[in-house]
Chain A
Amino acid sequence: GESVGLHLPTLSVQEGDNSIINCAYSNSASDYFIWYKQESGKGPQFIIDIRSNMDKRQGQRVTVLLNKTVKHLSLQIAATQPGDSAVYFCAENSLGSARQLTFGSGTQLTVLP
């Protein structure tokens, strides 16, 4: 039968602007967080990660911010480009979870020309 699922949150930004994608997590034991980019029909691609002993980490054009107090994670993409259009997932790993990742619901980023 037909499956009913949640629609992905969407974010549209103009090319060249900065993008901010947010993620909330609920497990206070989570100690490792990863952002993935997934293009249509492909597997997730690693973007950046951060451990719970940090609150900020920067990569090339990307920055991840971690606020453990409110269990919030964000991904900032500077100077967003058309190639950045994709679905972005946060994933977390928790102590005692057999090292498996738990994925968030994802955000569809669309870059407008």
Chain B
Amino acid sequence: GAVVSQHPSRVICKSGTSVKIECRSLDFQATTMFWYRQFPKQSLMLMATSNEGSKATYEQGVEKDKFLINHASLTLSTLTVTSAHPEDSSFYICSARGQSYGYTFGSGTRLTVV
């Protein structure tokens, strides 16, 4: 079946630094990737949708200059949290969708900004 690998699973960074999260589709080509953020005891909130080779589409209220998304190939999308602050601490989850597959989720990244 379709597998999405997300890395790292946990990261702690200092306030003001940047963190990059990778999302890879291992056995299929992901034409579209989605990035979600999830706070404790809450649902997944879509941050942005990215298509390979084009700019990401951000949801209302999500700062595109702060959450940089790059979908450089059909198997890799990255989310970079720039100048991270404690309020950016959250669980970030990617999802990939290919032509023949449904929505496959990564295992998530727990970001803690100290």
Binding site for B on A (CB under 8 A): 1, 3, 5-8, 34, 36, 41-46, 49, 89, 91, 98-106
Q: Give the CA-CA distance A36 to B6 in the complex, in Å.
A: 18
Contact check, A99 vs B43: say whether CB atoms are below 8 A apart: no
B7 at the interface (CB under 8 A from A): no
Given A5-B39, A41-B91, A43-B105, 12 further pairs, Cβ under 8 A: A7-B41, A8-B42, A43-B4, A43-B107, A44-B105, A49-B102, A91-B103, A99-B97, A101-B34, A103-B45, A105-B42, A106-B43
* Chain A residues closer than 8 Å to B40, beta-carbon distance: 5
* Chain A residues closer than 8 Å to B43, beta-carbon distance: 89, 103-106
Q: Give the CA-CA distance A81 to B95 in the complex, in Å.
A: 28
- Residues of B37-88 at the interface with A, using a CB-CB cut-off of 8 Å, are 39-46, 49, 57, 87
Chain B residue nearest to A104 (CB atoms) is B43
Chain A residue nearest to B97 (CB atoms) is A99
Q: Give the CA-CA distance A97 to B103 in the complex, in Å.
A: 14
Contact check, A101 vs B93: say whether CB atoms are below 8 A apart: no
Contact check, A34 vs B42: say whether CB atoms are below 8 A apart: no
Say how far A57's CB is from chain B's closest CB, in angstroms: 14
Binding site for A on B (CB under 8 A): 4, 6, 32, 34, 39-46, 49, 57, 87, 91, 93, 95, 97, 102-108, 110
Chain B residue nearest to A5 (CB atoms) is B42
Contact check, A100 vs B108: say whether CB atoms are below 8 A apart: no
* Chain A residues closer than 8 Å to B32, beta-carbon distance: 98-99
- A8, A43, A103 interface centre (most CB from chain B within 10 Å): A43
Contact check, B42 vs A6: say whether CB atoms are below 8 A apart: yes
Contact check, A5 vs B102: say whether CB atoms are below 8 A apart: no
* Chain B residues closer than 8 Å to A41, beta-carbon distance: 91, 108, 110
Chain A residue nearest to B91 (CB atoms) is A41
Q: Give the CA-CA distance A103 to B33 in the complex, in Å.
A: 16
Contact check, A100 vs B34: say whether CB atoms are below 8 A apart: yes
* Chain A residues closer than 8 Å to B57, beta-carbon distance: 98
Contact check, B108 vs A34: say whether CB atoms are below 8 A apart: no
Contact check, B49 vs A98: say whether CB atoms are below 8 A apart: yes
